[in-house]
A and B are shown apart, each in its own frame.
Chain A
Amino acid sequence: MTRMLKGLMLATTVLVPAALAGTVQAADTALTIESWRNDDLSIWQEKLIPAFEAKNPGIKVTFAPMAPTEYNSAVNAKLEAGTAGDLITCRPFDLSLAMFEKGQLAPLNDLDGIGNFSDTAKSAWTTDDGKTTFCVPMASVIHGFIYNKKAFEELKVEVPKTEDEFFALLEKIKTDGNYIPMAMGTKDQWEAATMGYYNIGPNDWKGEEGRKALIAGTQKLTDADWVEPYKTLAKWKPYLGDGFEAQTYPDSQNLFTLGRAAIYPAGSWEIAPFKAQADFEMGAFPPPVKKAGDTCYISDHNDIGIGLNAKGKNPEAAKKFLAWVASPEFATLYANSLPGFFSLNSTAVKMEDPLAQEFVSWRQNCKPTIRPSAAIVGRGKPNLDLEMWRVSANVINGTQTPEQAAEETQKGLDSWYKPAK
């Protein structure tokens, strides 16, 4: 009797689930997307994946995000161990290129729909010789400043066009005292560079011109054009509100959406969460230029793509998914569910969000560029991006002069980077 009971227990606990799992697997192909976009989990689960699954019965897609700062090392470890999902969200430029060169990402030149993207859009996920593309471009993000329209109306101030107007505006908000002029902290360091240096800098180093000169070695980070943005950042300090040194990224987001701060140095990815949180009208303006009439430059950074795990288990289903991501249908769906992530698809996408439209409208008058530390000069040790985080935070905190900051980053770059002659 006991033996029979034991046999039954064994059968129910071990065999039945195994059999069930077997049948499920036979029916559905399961795909997993590795990603760092924690914030977008619900949009993937509720909008994007159901739209795909409705058209492709038999494929089950899971979106598996992790903490952004841990993403690269974690996904690399997973790829090496062979436990990564079939679809890998791609960071732009050097990081994904390294994955491709290690054979972890499959080439996608012959994917259906890859022709929907321009070379500029693909540049972030293409080899240096321009021949092989290894991720489907998804979206770019634009930097600028988001402001509280209600606050601007109360104070009867206008959107600044030049840097002088910008600082005059900040001074006015500060004197008025009702609002913190600008919501940004330096504790997490990355905002100082991403929303500070990379945001306002292109006006000084003239966008692509300066970035390419840096890669070619004809300009250095210690040149006046690259030091100038640090000098401007140093002037932000008095307008950042009490205790900004210990203010974290979520603190700044909350300060702005609670209506306590007037201006937020932003990336366009903030649009969706800000819309959900704030109960006042928001507007946006591009980084102010030095003198009225100067050409304006904006950071329009290819930020996110999606690639195919070369050693994935279901390459066919995964390719179907990628082809769908490359389609205009996905572009419209994505750009409207996540306003602020601008589609890189050549087909024009109609966006309904006015704030997102405002950001995108700058592309008409301003010259776009990408973040200077992303391509080619971001490959070595010490990592230029991380160095810029640190020194930008130091400059705003006042613990380093702009010249020291520039010198330190150039020294780090010199230690490994030899420009092609």
Chain B
Amino acid sequence: MSDTDTADPAIAPIKRPTRWHIAVFLAPAVLVYTAIMILPLIETLRLSLYNLVDGQTAFVGLSNFVTLFSDPRLSASFWNALGNNLIFFVIHMLVQNPVGIALAAMLSIPKLRFATFYRTAIFVPTLLSFVIVGFIWKLILSPIWGIAPGMLDMVGLKWLFAPWLGRPDSALIAVSLISVWQYVGIPMMLIYAALLNIPEEVLEAAECDGITGWSQFWKIKLPLILPSIGIISILTFVGNFNAFDLIYTVQGALAGPDGSTDILGTLLYRTFFGFQNQMGDRSMGATIATVMFLIILAGVSLYLFVIQRRMRRYQF
């Protein structure tokens, strides 16, 4: 494809010009992505192998990781954060996704009135900034100014109210449910799209065989939307283990009370950037970031190589 061939037109093959436009069109995305994603990622991984030794940055091998897992305080905060993160993820899997699927199933009922309204209303929180969501919920649940105590009082359930966000045993659940409220629109939309994709003929055939209503959902629709559910699960996993913003807005960087809402993201923030009188430690922060990256990588690989390959797909 080089220009020298064109010197002898007699034997030259049909000239195919170099397709520069491919490179040109790809370049902006590749450049931007490399500059703001790939390079920082590599730099973070590299930084986790370095530390300050006598005021100088020096290569220390894996000793940061050894410190992270052997230092009694650091490892305690790390395992606490990982444990909380798992609970955070489990609550999303058990509440957000089933509720999302249920909502999608209800929305796809052909006779439902105001379906578009419901769909939009449920999806809107997803579009809101986490700062707004965090702030609104903090106010709703505030024991002093909030409307939650008043509303519970109106139905005679005032005794049920507690300062949920301030109690170590309920704060994490409360924050998880706020996050579920915000993001339930995403599984709903994806499943809704998948349900609309199921051809009428399949459903008609099912009806001819006498499968209707709930059993139609369980036996026909659910197997057909399983790949979408898989995608949603992995998105939830990645999102939850990268989460930080909502906890930071609702509970602050200390992720209190007593570290009960501390997840990997907030731990990383406090370690890397420091907090109040605690100075930031970039190497240890990068080490935690690397561990987070590995956890997410492991989860995604497990899904891609083990689960997705065994999933049955149906072609229509």
Contacts and interface: CB of A to CB of B under 8 A. Distances in A.
A188 interface: yes
Given A70-B273, A186-B257, A244-B166, A76 B279 contact: yes
B73 interface: yes
B253 A69 contact: yes
A246 B142 contact: yes
Given A98-B279, A412-B73, A245 B257 contact: yes
A98 B141 CA distance: 41
B257 A69 contact: no
B64 to A, nearest CB: 14
A393 interface: yes
A381 B74 CA distance: 10
Contact of B163 (A68, A73, A243): A243
A381 B144 contact: no
A386 B166 contact: no
A385 B166 contact: no
Contacts of A185: 166
Given A189-B256, A394-B257, A394-B258, A245 B279 contact: no
Interface of B is mostly: loop
Given A245-B166, A251-B145, A188 B276 contact: no
B239 interface: no
A385 B276 contact: yes
B275 A187 contact: no
Given A245-B163, A251-B145, A378-B277, A188 B168 contact: no
Interface string B125-158: 0000000000000000111110001000000000
B256 to A, nearest CB: 6
Given A72-B274, A73-B274, A255 B144 contact: yes
B254 interface: yes
B92 to A, nearest CB: 23
B164 interface: yes
A390 interface: yes
Contacts of A389: 254
B4 interface: no
Interface in A265-306: none
A120 interface: no
Interface string A293-331: 000000000000000000000000000000000000000
Interface in A226-247: 241-247
A245 B161 CA distance: 13
A393 B149 CA distance: 23
B199 to A, nearest CB: 51
Interface in A64-87: 68-70, 72-73, 76-77
A308 B252 CA distance: 31
Nearest to B143: A243
A383 B256 contact: no
Interface size class of A (residues with CB under 8 A): 35 or more
A7 interface: no
A343 to B, nearest CB: 24
A382 B166 CA distance: 23
Nearest to B164: A246
Contacts of A140: none
B185 to A, nearest CB: 27
Contact of B277 (A244, A255, A385, A393): A385
Contacts of B252: 69, 187-188
Contacts of B278: 381-383, 386
A399 interface: yes
Interface in B268-305: 273-281
A169 interface: no
B313 interface: no
B167 interface: yes
A108 B214 CA distance: 79
B165 interface: yes
A73 B254 contact: no
Nearest to B284: A381
Contacts of B149: 243
Given A242-B143, A246-B141, A390-B258, A69 B276 contact: yes
B247 to A, nearest CB: 13
Contacts of A400: 258
A269 to B, nearest CB: 16
Contacts of B259: 390
Given A251-B142, A382-B73, A393-B257, A243 B166 contact: yes
Given A187-B256, A390-B256, A246 B166 contact: yes
Given A72-B274, A247-B143, 20 more contacts: A73-B279, A76-B279, A98-B279, A186-B166, A186-B257, A187-B165, A187-B166, A187-B252, A189-B257, A243-B143, A243-B149, A246-B166, A247-B163, A382-B73, A383-B277, A386-B254, A386-B275, A386-B276, A394-B257, A397-B257
18 contacts: A72-B276, A73-B273, A73-B279, A73-B280, A94-B277, A187-B165, A187-B251, A189-B256, A242-B143, A244-B143, A244-B166, A246-B167, A247-B142, A247-B166, A389-B254, A390-B259, A393-B256, A394-B258
Interface of A: 68-70, 72-73, 76-77, 91, 94-95, 98, 185-190, 241-247, 251, 255, 378, 381-383, 385-386, 389-390, 393-394, 397, 399-400, 412, 415
